[in-house]
Structure 1
Amino acid sequence: MKVSGFLHLGVGSILFLFLVGFVGGLVSGFIGSGGAFVLTPAMMSMGVPAIVAVASNMCHKFPKALVGAIKRAKYGQVDVKLGIILGISAEIGVLVGAGIQTHIKEAFGNAGSNLYVSFVFVVVLAIVGGYVLYDAWKIYHSANPEEEQVSKLARWVQSKRIPGTMMYFKSIDTEISVLFTIPAGFFTGMLAATIAVGGFIGVPSMIYLFGVPSIMASATELVIAFIMGMGGSIKFAWEGFVDIRLAMIILAGSLFGIQLGAIGTTYVKPYMVKVVMGIIMILVLFSRGFMIPVYLSDLDYINRLSVGTAHIFSGVSYTLLIFALLTGGVIIFTALWRGRREHLQLLRTQETAAFSQSFSLPVANEINDIQLSPLGKFNRILLVTDGSEFSTGATREAIKLAQKTSKQLYVMSVVRTNPEYESLAPQLLEKEQKAAINVLEQVKTTAEQANLTCEALLRHGEEVHQEIVEEAEKSRMDIIIMGRRGKTGLLRLMMGSTTAKVIGSTLCSILVVPRAGQLAGKSILLAVDGSRYSDVAAVAAINIAKHLQAPIEVMTVVDVGQGHQTEAAVIVERIKTLITNEGIDVESLIVNGRPAESIVDTAKKRGTDLIVVGSHGRTGLEKVLMGSVSDRVIGLAECAVLIVKTY
Structure 2
Amino acid sequence: MKILLPVDGSLYSAYAASFLKACAPFLSTTPEIEVFNVQRLSSGLLSDLWDTESYQNFCRAGAARAFAGVRRAFDSLRVPVHEKYATGPVIETILQEADSFGPDLIVMGTKGKTSFDRLVMGSVTTGVIAGAKCPLLLIRSPYLPKGRDLKVGLAVDGSEYGAQAARFLARSADRLGAQTKISLIHVSDDADDVFYYNLVNPDYFKAVETVPEKGGDFFEQFNAKRVAFEKEESDRAFATVLPVLEPTGLPLEEVTLSGDVGPILARYAEQMGLDLLVMGSRGLDNGEAATTGSITTRVLAEGRIPVLVVKS
Question: Shorter-chain TM-score category?
Answer: 0.7 to 0.9
Q: C-alpha displacement at 1:575, in angstroms?
A: 2.3
Q: 1:409 aligns with which of 24, 33, 36?
A: 33
TM-score for the superposition, normalised by structure 2: 0.76
Is the Cα contact below 8 Å between 1:505 and 1:621 reproduced in 2?
A: no
Take 2:276 and 2:114, find their aligned partners in 1: how far apart are those partners? Answer: 17
Correspondence 1:596-611 to 2 at 5 A: 596-611=262-277
Q: CA deviation at 1:399?
A: 2.6
Shift of 1:382: 0.4
Which one has more relative contact order, counting CA pairs under 8 Å at least 6 apart? 2
TM-fit CA distance, 1:517: 2.9
* Residue 457, structure 1, aligned to residue 79, structure 2: no
Equivalent of residue 9 in structure 2, options 368, 387, 390: 387
CA RMSD of aligned residues (A): 2.5
Quick one: distance in 2 between partners of 1:548 and 1:497?
A: 31
Q: What is the Cα deviation at residue 441 of structure 1?
A: 5.5
Q: State the partner residue of 1:531.
A: 159
Q: CA deviation at 1:543?
A: 4.0
Counterparts of residues 478-493 of structure 1 (less than 5 Å): 478-485=104-111, 488-493=113-118
Question: Is 1:552 matched up with 2:182?
Answer: yes
Change (3 A) 1:429 1:624: farther
After superposition, the Cα gap between the structure-2 partners of 1:442 and 1:630, relative to the gap in structure 1 and judged at 3 Å, is closer
* Cα offset, 1:433, TM superposition: 3.0
SS of 2:288's equivalent?
helix
* Equivalent position amino acid for 1:630 in 2: T
Matches within 5 A, 1:144-183: none
Answer yes or no: is the 8 Å Cα contact 2:113–2:300 preserved in 1.
no
Equivalent in the alignment of 1:424: 48
Residue by residue over 1:1-30, the C-alpha shift from the partner in whole angstroms, topping out at 9 and shown as x without a partner, is: xxxxxxxxxxxxxxxxxxxxxxxxxxxxxx
Partner of residue 62 from structure 2, selected from 429, 435, 448: 435
Aligned equivalent of 2:259: 593
Partner of 1:638, secondary structure, is: coil
Cα distance in structure 2, aligned partners of 1:501 and 1:601: 24
1:565 aligns with 2:231: yes
Shift of 1:390: 1.7
Contact 1:537–1:614 (CA under 8 A) maintained in structure 2: yes
CA distance in 1, matches of 2:271, 2:184: 15
CA positional deviation for 1:555: 0.8
**Contiguous gaps of at least 5 residues in structure 2:** 194-225
- List aligned pairs for 1:178-189, cutoff 5 A: none
Question: Structure 2 vs 1, CA of residues 571 and 526 (structure 1 numbering), >3 Å: closer, same or farther?
Answer: same
Distance 1:443 1:579 in 2: 35
How big is the shift at 1:448? 5.2
Residue 389 of structure 1 aligns with an amino acid whose one-letter code is L
Per-residue CA shift, 1:514-546, capped at 9, x if unaligned?
132323343111000111110011122334454
Give the corresponding residue for 1:508. Answer: 134
Q: Matches of residues 347-366 of structure 1 in structure 2 within 5 Å?
A: none
Residue 21 of structure 2 corresponds to 399
**Which of 461, 471, 489 matches 2:97?**
471
Corresponding residue SS for 2:249: coil
Cα distance in 1, alignment partners of residues 289 and 57 from structure 2: 33
Tell me if the contact between 1:496 and 1:625 (Cα under 8 Å) persists in the aligned partners: no
Letter of the aligned partner of 1:458 in structure 2?
Y
Which residue in the other structure is 1:518 paired with?
Answer: 144
Question: Residues 106-151 of structure 1: CA distance to partner in whole angstroms, max 9, x if unpaired?
Answer: xxxxxxxxxxxxxxxxxxxxxxxxxxxxxxxxxxxxxxxxxxxxxx
With over 3 angstroms needed to count, the CA separation of the structure-2 counterparts of 1:632 and 1:429, relative to structure 1, is farther
2:168 is the counterpart of 1:540 = yes
Deviations 1:185-210 (A, max 9, x none): xxxxxxxxxxxxxxxxxxxxxxxxxx
Q: In the alignment, which of 291, 306, 310 is matched to residue 640 of structure 1?
A: 306
After superposition, the Cα gap between the structure-2 partners of 1:433 and 1:515, relative to the gap in structure 1 and judged at 3 Å, is farther
Identical pairs, percent: 25
The one-letter amino acid of 2:249's match is G
| Larger Cα-atom Rg | 1
Number of residue-to-residue matches in the alignment: 265
Looking at structure 1, the residues matched to 150 and 181 of structure 2 have their Cα atoms a distance apart, in angstroms, of 7
Partner deviation per Cα, 1:237-296 (whole Å, 9 max, x = no partner): xxxxxxxxxxxxxxxxxxxxxxxxxxxxxxxxxxxxxxxxxxxxxxxxxxxxxxxxxxxx
Change (3 A) 1:632 1:464: same
Instruction: Give distance in 1, aligned partners of 2:154 and 2:122.
Output: 26
1:491 alignment partner, SS class? helix
CA distance in 2, matches of 1:417, 1:544: 39
C-alpha distance after superposition, 1:23-75 (max 9, x if no partner): xxxxxxxxxxxxxxxxxxxxxxxxxxxxxxxxxxxxxxxxxxxxxxxxxxxxx
Sort the Cα spacing of 1:445 and 1:540 in 2 relative to 1 into closer, same or farther, 3 A: same
Tell me the SS of whatever aligns to 2:248: coil
Give 1:581 shift. 1.7
AA aligned opposite 2:86: R
For residues 183 and 309 of structure 2, the distance between their equivalents in structure 1, rounded to whole angstroms, comes to 16
- CA–CA distance in 2 between the matches of 1:597 and 1:515? 17
Aligned partner of 2:125 among 486, 499, 503: 499
Residue 442 of structure 1: how far off its partner (Å): 6.1
The Cα of 1:401 is off from its aligned counterpart by 3.3
Tell me what 1:612 maps to. 278
